[in-house]
Amino acid sequence: MVFRMSLKAQSALEFLTTYGWAFLVILIMIGTLAYFGVLSPSKIVPNRCTFGSEFQCLDYQISATANTFKVRLKNNVGEPITVSTISLGSEGTTGFTCTPSNPTYPYSSWKSGNISEFTWTGCNAANAGFVQGEKGKVFVTVNYYSVASGSGYTKETKGEVLSTII
Indicate whether 84 and 144 sit together in one domain.
yes
Q: Could you read off the pLDDT of 115-150 as tens digits, one per residue? A: 999 999 999 888 888 888 888 899 999 999 999 999
Indicate whether 151 and 112 sit together in one domain.
yes
Indicate whether 123 and 139 sit together in one domain.
yes
Compute and round to an integer the Cα radius of gyration of the chain. Answer: 26
pTM (two decimals): 0.75
Mean predicted confidence (pLDDT) in 5-22: 85
Q: What's the total number of domains in the chain? A: 2
Indicate whether 16 and 92 sit together in one domain.
no
Q: Could you read off the pLDDT of 34-83 as tens digits, one per residue? A: 888 777 766 778 899 999 999 999 999 999 999 999 999 999 999 999 99
pLDDT given for residue 63 in this prediction: 92
Indicate whether 33 and 54 sit together in one domain.
no
Confidence band, pLDDT 50/70/90 cuts, at residue 91: confident
Indicate whether 48 and 97 sit together in one domain.
yes
pLDDT given for residue 2 in this prediction: 52
* CATH number, domain with residue 152: 2.60.40
The residue segments making up the domain with residue 152 are 44-164
Confidence band, pLDDT 50/70/90 cuts, at residue 25: very high
Cα–Cα distances in angstroms (integers) from residue 19 to residues 6, 13, 26, 32, 50, in the given order: 20, 10, 11, 20, 44
Indicate whether 51 and 88 sit together in one domain.
yes
Indicate whether 92 and 154 sit together in one domain.
yes
Indicate whether 31 and 66 sit together in one domain.
no
**Alpha carbons 68 and 59: distance in angstroms, whole number:** 14
Indicate whether 52 and 22 sit together in one domain.
no
